[in-house]
Structure 1
Amino acid sequence: MLVKEVIEIIEKLAPPAYAEDFDNTGLLVGDKNAQVKAALITLDTLESVVDEAIEKNCNLIISFHPIIFSGLKKLTGNDYVEQTVIKAIKNDIAIYAIHTALDNQFKGVNDMICEMVGLKKRQILIPRKDSIRKLTTFVPHRQAAAVRKALFDAGGGSIGNYDHCSFNLQGEGSFKPNEHAKPVIGERGEVHLEKETQIGLIYPEHIEKSLLKALFSTHPYEEVAYEISVLENENQHLGMGMIGELETPEEPISFLKRIKKIFHCGCIRHSELNKNTIKRVAVLGGSGSFAINQAKAAGADIYLTADLKYHDFYKADHNFILADIGHYESEQYTKDLLHSYLTKKISNFALILGETNTNPIKYI
């Protein structure tokens, strides 16, 4: 397979359209047309990870975090970012980063944390806005079924656990082709009335290009009439963080000890243990201080995240528990998620789970 073909498979799991604006996802280093010999899957891309890729004959690194986050103005090897990129280029190793595109997926980073903790009834903590769109088009009655099927096949009309969802109205359309038109129905210079079906369906924004391609390729008219609108509805299957419930409530101390063991935490920094039991748990892998209020509002007994500052812990405000389990620790199983997904999709080259520990934080 070519690098670009592997990328297509990755982006079906985590479309880049859903990465945060501040992020730098996608192919960061390398030739998208290069043939893949083997791929190394890792949480971070450091020079030591590139060394592991060289040792294991991998010419593609699939990384959760991007090694290039802000713009590079020079490549002189003055810091760890430049050193890593130079070594990758010298050894013809491509680097792809997925980061917040996967953070925002329902079956992504936070779902993996929920799985490890054992949470049921999972929901997105901060549903994404402005990611659902609606397509409305007008089709002659006899072609409506074919156009509708093409739109469904392209991914339109899916709502949660339901697909093939649309709303259809019967009506009459009018048009008059001018002298330059090549009408499929009607005559030039004459007003034509046609029995039509108005088809309306919703779709996620990242499939818009393929959806419109399906519409134009199956619609019989020379000029296709359609409307696109952005809905204000929150996307309950896309967004940051998750919240779920334990099957059996646990005491705070025993719960935190279990979390420490599961995630191999050097320590867990937490606020006052002001709950008798833990039942409802919010999670957000990596830096999650921005979601404290949302976790509290969602009725969480405890919020598991990372990179909390001193004053963040005051925001618990005696209402729930804040627990900083570590950035690396909270996201470490992401590479297992990627490895599991890709091994089901790709069988014609090796997918190797990286063994390099890239956690920069050590504990005494």
Structure 2
Amino acid sequence: MKVQDIITHIEELCPLAYAEDFDNVGLLVGDRNQQTNGVLISLDTLENVVDEAIEKNCNMIVSFHPIIFSGLKKITGKTYVERVVQKAIKNDIAIYAMHTALDNSWNGVSDRICDELGLTQKSILIPQKATIKKLITFAPKASAEKVRNALFAVGAGSIGNYDHCSFNTEGLGSFRGNEASNPTIGIKGETHFEEEVQLGITFARHLEGKIINTLQQVHPYEEVAYEVTTLENTNQHIGMGMIGHFEKPINEMHFMTLLKTKMKVPVVRHSHLLGKMIQKVAVLGGSGSFAIEAAKRAGVDAYVTADLKYHDFYKAEGQLILADIGHYESEQYTKNLLFEYLTKKIPNFAFILSAENTNPIKYS
């Protein structure tokens, strides 16, 4: 098993194309062609996590948070980041992080919070823009089915709960090849008319390279005519945060108790209670103050996130309850999510769930 084999499976769950622009994701340390004999899965990559990897004979760490976030100008061991990188390189340990790519995944961080709280009827809180593309191409009538099915096979035409979605229009195409051409149909130097099918098919942004490559491989023409456009349509399965519903409304104190119990927190920082029942809830793992207005527009009864500042709580404005459960606590189940996913994908490989608690915040 190579490092790249592990990466391929992770990026099926959370393609890096959907990570936020500010983020630093992917393989941060190591060689993707390196053989790996074990993978340690953690929320963070700290020195004690690298020590754990060494002790448990793992030469790859899959970490939610990237240890290298901004540029490193020196690696002298002066900071904890530099010491982690030094130790990983010295012990030939690869480090991979996906961070906001998993935040934006349908089966990612927020989805897991919903599951822990028992929320159903899920939807994305802030759909990511420009994630849907459309391919228009033209194929000879006799070859259209082959081209269409090849594109379906690599993921084109999948929309929510449906796949093999396309629109097909028959028409008459024309072309003339010059002296350097080698036309599959027709004679170079002569204008040729061919019954063609115009194929329209949408696809997820991260698949563009694979889809265009497949099109060029299976299409019979020497020169393939196609157009790719980015759509403004809202993608309902990629984006930050998630909205879910309790089967039955619960009162506010029951809700606070549920948060403390399910999310294993000693205390919840929250805005004023409103004396109303809680049923529709928005959640977003990690720092989520940027999504307060989106939660208000969605008409939720409560918004669960972390890292809210003093003035953020004023933004509730009596419309919803803002609940801060802590950064680590909101993301604590992420390593379990990754562990469960990877062990299902590669059941006979040594994936180990880190036993280290990397929460830097303590309560007394």
Normalising by the smaller structure, the TM-score range is: over 0.9
Q: Residues 248-296 of structure 1, C-alpha deviation per residue, up to 9 Å, x if partnerless? A: 1111111111111111113110000014110000000000000000001
Amino acid at match of 2:143: Q
Q: Residues 122-179 of structure 1, C-alpha deviation per residue, up to 9 Å, x if partnerless? A: 0000011101000000000000000000000010001100000000000000111111
Amino acid at match of 1:123: S
C-alpha distance in structure 1 between counterparts of 2:255 and 2:189, whole Å: 76
**Corresponding residue for residue 305 of structure 1:** 305
C-alpha distance in structure 1 between counterparts of 2:158 and 2:111, whole Å: 21
Contact 1:173 1:195 in 2 (8 A): yes
Contact 1:275 1:301 in 2 (8 A): no
Contact 2:343 2:349 in 1 (8 A): no
**Corresponding residue for residue 244 of structure 1:** 244
**Corresponding residue for residue 132 of structure 1:** 132
Contact 2:137 2:227 in 1 (8 A): yes
1:62 counterpart SS class? strand
What is the CA-CA distance between 1:346 and the residue it aligns to? Answer: 1.1
**Corresponding residue for residue 169 of structure 1:** 169
Instruction: Kindly report which structure 2 residues correspond to 1:269-288, keeping only aligned pairs within 5 A, or say none.
Output: 269-288=269-288
C-alpha distance in structure 2 between counterparts of 1:204 and 1:93, whole Å: 33
**Corresponding residue for residue 100 of structure 2:** 100
Contact 1:155 1:203 in 2 (8 A): yes
Q: Residues 74-110 of structure 1, C-alpha deviation per residue, up to 9 Å, x if partnerless? A: 0011111111111111111111001000000111110
Give the RMSD, CA atoms, in angstroms: 0.7
1:52 counterpart SS class? helix
Instruction: Kindly report which structure 2 residues correspond to 1:261-276, keeping only aligned pairs within 5 A, or say none.
Output: 261-276=261-276
C-alpha distance in structure 1 between counterparts of 2:263 and 2:249, whole Å: 20
Amino acid at match of 1:135: L
Where does structure 1 lack aligned partners over 5 or more consecutive residues? none
Q: TM-score, normalised by structure 1?
A: 0.99
C-alpha distance in structure 1 between counterparts of 2:159 and 2:20, whole Å: 23
C-alpha distance in structure 2 between counterparts of 1:175 and 1:214, whole Å: 22
**Corresponding residue for residue 24 of structure 2:** 24
The answer to whether structure 1 residue 337 and structure 2 residue 337 are counterparts is yes
C-alpha distance in structure 1 between counterparts of 2:359 and 2:177, whole Å: 66
Instruction: Kindly report which structure 2 residues correspond to 1:28-39, keeping only aligned pairs within 5 A, or say none.
Output: 28-39=28-39
**Corresponding residue for residue 56 of structure 1:** 56
Instruction: Kindly report which structure 2 residues correspond to 1:117-266, keeping only aligned pairs within 5 A, or say none.
Output: 117-266=117-266
2:236 counterpart SS class? strand
**Corresponding residue for residue 43 of structure 2:** 43
What is the CA-CA distance between 1:339 and the residue it aligns to? Answer: 0.5
C-alpha distance in structure 1 between counterparts of 2:57 and 2:171, whole Å: 62
C-alpha distance in structure 2 between counterparts of 1:338 and 1:275, whole Å: 38
1:217 counterpart SS class? helix
**Corresponding residue for residue 327 of structure 1:** 327
C-alpha distance in structure 2 between counterparts of 1:35 and 1:6, whole Å: 10
What is the CA-CA distance between 1:347 and the residue it aligns to? Answer: 3.0
**Corresponding residue for residue 69 of structure 1:** 69
What is the CA-CA distance between 1:349 and the residue it aligns to? Answer: 2.4
Contact 2:177 2:187 in 1 (8 A): yes
1:220 counterpart SS class? coil
Amino acid at match of 2:60: L
**Corresponding residue for residue 359 of structure 1:** 359
Amino acid at match of 1:41: I
Contact 1:266 1:362 in 2 (8 A): no
Q: TM-score, normalised by structure 2?
A: 0.99
What is the CA-CA distance between 1:205 and the residue it aligns to? Answer: 0.7
Contact 1:36 1:349 in 2 (8 A): no
C-alpha distance in structure 2 between counterparts of 1:105 and 1:112, whole Å: 11
**Corresponding residue for residue 314 of structure 2:** 314
Amino acid at match of 1:230: T
Amino acid at match of 1:105: S
What is the CA-CA distance between 1:216 and the residue it aligns to? Answer: 0.7
Amino acid at match of 2:225: A
The answer to whether structure 1 residue 79 and structure 2 residue 79 are counterparts is yes
Q: Residues 196-235 of structure 1, C-alpha deviation per residue, up to 9 Å, x if partnerless? A: 0000000001011110111111110000000000001111
